[in-house]
Amino acid sequence: MSCGVANVRLRQLISPASVLLIGLVAGLLVFRNAGFTKDAGVARQTAPADLDGEINRSLPESLAGCRDVTSRFRGVQLDTDDRASLVFHGILALGSELSVVNRLTGQPVEIPGFALSLLEASRRGQSADTATRANVQQKHPGQFLSYLLTAKSQGRLHWPEELDSALTAVWCEERQSVGMTATLGWFVPAYCLSDSRTTFSNKYGEVIDAPYLVKALIAQSRDGDRRQVCFGLHEVQALGVARTNLRAELDKATFAILDQVFREQSQEVLAAVSAGQLHAGRSTDNDALRLDDDYSFFYSAGHAIEALVSAPDCVMADPRMHEFVATVLERCRNSTIWHEPNELKTGGSPPGAHYCIMSHLVHALQLYASTVEHRGATAATNH
């Protein structure tokens, strides 16, 4: 499902005034005590340190539900004629467990090599293999690269060393255009999860490094709407990924403002999912998602959970997080979408959008489950 691309220069996002504002706010944060914060007239409180017993007792059932949803999604078979968008969303959800067969021979293809060919083709807007007509009409190489690097960095996509140099070449080429397109919701996670986070110059002569990207992302995210699925939630997720991965590369003031912005925005997302207020449009009420429709609900839920668990220490002690996941899993159990799983490949607009929707949900639930299991193992070790 296309999220769109906004044409804007990064330098326009980081004016001298905005840099000064970030510094002033960061300075105030040093002297600010934790507790309630006010934003748009809504009071928020720091999440409780411990979950109540009822939620803790329900976690094993939730973990089993996450595994069940993943197993059902794994049963959808892709082939080399399917859209590139489906393949990369499948990689995001399943990594090396994704099954893709050659449409002509019926034989399975090696995911890393096939993904790399699609990635290179998407940059050119061409078919990766004229014999299999791989559809790359969606020219979103930044998005595809971000999903591939996400699966790779999480250890779910096994990447052979002999393809490292080719992947690095694609990454170096893609980052040259970061000054022109504001796809920071995709680019920042790709930057954080790449093997090299070195300072570089783009094709406009701008010097790009971790602090520069974080400040640009903060400026951009403050102009967005956290309730808005895709644009807004990808930005929240990028903030969380940066907070988790870039702390050592940021000065204290920049990290302080990044931490505060993510905490505030993640609380907005939690409040929105609890009230059913996520929507698909650009802050317009008439674009509200139809939560009575399974795919609309799963579309919002997957992106929201992905955003929230990008910095789990900020949200996993909040009961609303676990209550929402339990609601999502109950909806999955009762949904009819699994009756014809291959319909996922053709349903929606454009065709296959339903598969992309569910891939985000599967990825989100896997991240949630691994975080819960890790926290449980850590707690057991500490005791």
Per-residue pLDDT tens over the stretch 50-107: 556 777 888 999 999 999 999 999 999 999 999 899 999 999 999 999 999 999 999 9
Report the alpha-carbon distance of residue 339 to residue 75 in Å, rounded: 12
Q: How confident is the model at residue 260 (pLDDT cuts 50, 70, 90)?
A: very high
pLDDT at 24 over 80: no
pLDDT at 301 over 80: yes
Mean predicted lDDT score pLDDT of the chain: 78
Give residue 21's pLDDT.
46
Report the alpha-carbon distance of residue 214 to residue 220 in Å, rounded: 10
Report the alpha-carbon distance of residue 318 to residue 265 in Å, rounded: 14
Is the model more confident about 327 or about 45? Answer: 327
Report the alpha-carbon distance of residue 52 to residue 322 in Å, rounded: 11
Alpha-carbon torsion, ordered 287, 291, 294, 298, to 10 deg: 80
pLDDT at 9 over 60: no
Give residue 349's pLDDT.
83
Give residue 2's pLDDT.
40
Q: Which segment of 61-70, 112-121, 170-179 scores lowest on mean pLDDT?
A: 170-179
pLDDT at 168 over 70: yes
Q: For residues 219 and 18, is the Cβ–Cβ distance under 8 A?
A: yes
- The neighbouring-strand residues paired with 201 are 207
Q: How confident is the model at residue 376 (pLDDT cuts 50, 70, 90)?
A: low
pLDDT at 251 over 90: yes
